[in-house]
Structure 1
């Protein structure tokens, strides 16, 4: 009996020690997580409070946790430009249409590349990968777009650059690791072809990868300005990012060319608008993330675990 009691005491002691070590580990994990969370969130929080603060207070380092000299002048000056609303409209259209086209193209290509029976699959994979490292350059691309009559049109922002080899590789990995081949064999017994199988079986099981690619493509479309700078000449087609860029450049030029009190006011507004522009440009697309967060969390683990 004494031996049993000693053994029970040892087991209880080991359980307490394990619980104690687990508690210490949890405290350390949550502490580091909180520190990293603050490091990641504070820059965005600073931009928000700086956009409502006096530029002189921001420049002198007085703005840390709360706004100093609360003002809405940056937003008032920014939204005084009527073309910002046209930029919003264009960017929303580019994002919606470009995301739809990008998801359809990349998902379809990824499914085809995931099929072992695809003739020349290895050669196509090599061809796609080469394009990630080598391209024709800006001038040949410009000439191609011009010859295709896409220059200075709505479609130049959503069609020519819709294919992303990286997205295709990610989606292909998802199909190969997450969609059992047994489903295809069962679908064949029911007389199902590849197109019907892809639409009726694969896509409903691929919400995670569709959401992930949709988010990536939407963010890329929303932030895109270089393509518009090169391939668009009509200002009524400019996306939001290019409109904001032009507004900032115009205000900075006015502040640098002026003199006296007017120049100081223009410089103050130019400095204040830098933060306002960031908020106006990023908040809308950030609001989309909570709606697809659960799918995104699944998608980031694509290919990490294989059965």
Structure 2
């Protein structure tokens, strides 16, 4: 196929512009990574470090020897694992029940779900509800407040609507009730949607910041994002508490860079395992029939 001169110029311009956009987007990540692995003496000596002469892990050793930092990682891991499991369980079961045509009152409930998308309760009603439930300063407050959303329920319902009703009917003939059919037949067929929504929920729970800041008063229960925010504000390393005295503290900027790298690494590691399902899962509910 012959390409005209105008198309060649257009394609070349597109490649250059997209390459520059990618460079501008990736450079901050590259700089954070390089600074976190630079030797502290070299970092203090140079104004800008684009490639270190001497690599060092002192920033990571210092962070991983700080009990508050390790505790914050554990809290974030708990929120990501338990919160994602609970969110997937509630969202998938709720969406499946709304997709069953024999479920009485499903249209009324669906209208309530749509209402929550259009009109949110706001911060103060949520806080008062959590307070009345006695969940202030509890990790479950952070999980339950962001357990699911009406938008995710509608999207997953669209996926369940695309599945043939004959599957559930055949299962009922074999003696399965709705719960058994959902668990043994529908869920295995829902791996693309589970993977896509699981990634959404995992990222949201790992990055919990505002809800944790609002409902958690005890600093020992802060997730990594809240601790990272304190580190970014505090120019010293006092927010990390008592650290091994044998490890000399690196510059605070390097500590912040290393903390950012550690904070984004788990999600980057999880994404490749879900990528094969993600492309299909993002199309959930877009086509029916």
What are the Cα deviations for residues 17-49 of structure 1, in whole angstroms up to 9, with x where unaligned?
Answer: x4x56xx99xx5995898365555444223211
Higher Rg: 1
- Alpha-carbon contact 2:79-2:205 (below 8 Å) kept: yes
What are the Cα deviations for residues 53-111 of structure 1, in whole angstroms up to 9, with x where unaligned?
Answer: 455688x5x444x2467555543554453210111111111211111100000011111
- Alpha-carbon contact 1:50-1:275 (below 8 Å) kept: yes
Give the structure 2 partner of residue 169 of structure 1.
154
For residues 57 and 49 of structure 1, the distance between their equivalents in structure 2, rounded to whole angstroms, comes to 15
Report the alpha carbon displacement of residue 304 of structure 1 after superposing the two structures with TM: 3.8
Residue 293 (structure 1) aligned with residue 271 (structure 2): no
- Alpha-carbon RMSD: 3.2
Report the alpha carbon displacement of residue 250 of structure 1 after superposing the two structures with TM: 2.9
Q: Would you tell me which structure has more helix in proportion to its own residues?
A: 1
Give the structure 1 partner of residue 185 of structure 2.
201
For residues 213 and 224 of structure 2, the distance between their equivalents in structure 1, rounded to whole angstroms, comes to 12
Instruction: Call closer, same or farther: CA 1:299–1:235 in 2, change over 3 Å.
Output: same
Q: 2:77 aligns with which of 92, 105, 110?
A: 92
Q: 2:195 aligns with which of 202, 211, 221?
A: 211
Residue 158 (structure 1) aligned with residue 143 (structure 2): yes
Instruction: Call closer, same or farther: CA 1:253–1:281 in 2, change over 3 Å.
Output: closer
Q: Which has the higher contact order (CA 8 A, sep 6+)?
A: 2
Task: Specify every segment of 5 or more residues in structure 1 that has no aligned partner in the other structure, as ranges.
Answer: 1-17, 255-265
Q: 1:135 aligns with which of 120, 123, 126?
A: 120
For residues 158 and 280 of structure 2, the distance between their equivalents in structure 1, rounded to whole angstroms, comes to 14
Residue 271 (structure 1) aligned with residue 253 (structure 2): yes
Residue 75 (structure 1) aligned with residue 94 (structure 2): no
TM-score (norm 1): 0.76
Give the structure 2 partner of residue 144 of structure 1.
129
Residue 110 (structure 1) aligned with residue 89 (structure 2): no
Instruction: Call closer, same or farther: CA 1:38–1:173 in 2, change over 3 Å.
Output: farther
What are the Cα deviations for residues 136-186 of structure 1, in whole angstroms up to 9, with x where unaligned?
Answer: 322221121111121112322222321222221221111112x11221232
- Counting only pairs closer than 5 Å after superposition, residues 235-254 of structure 1 correspond to structure 2 as 235-251=219-235
- Alpha-carbon contact 1:57-1:68 (below 8 Å) kept: no
Report the alpha carbon displacement of residue 222 of structure 1 after superposing the two structures with TM: 0.4
Task: Specify every segment of 5 or more residues in structure 2 that has no aligned partner in the other structure, as ranges.
Answer: 239-248
Q: Does 146-155 or 49-58 show the bigger shift?
A: 49-58
TM-score (norm 2): 0.80
Aligned to 1:117, what secondary structure does the other structure show?
coil
- Alpha-carbon contact 2:80-2:206 (below 8 Å) kept: yes
Aligned to 2:235, what secondary structure does the other structure show?
helix
- Alpha-carbon contact 2:157-2:285 (below 8 Å) kept: no
- Alpha-carbon contact 2:36-2:255 (below 8 Å) kept: yes
Residue 221 (structure 1) aligned with residue 205 (structure 2): yes
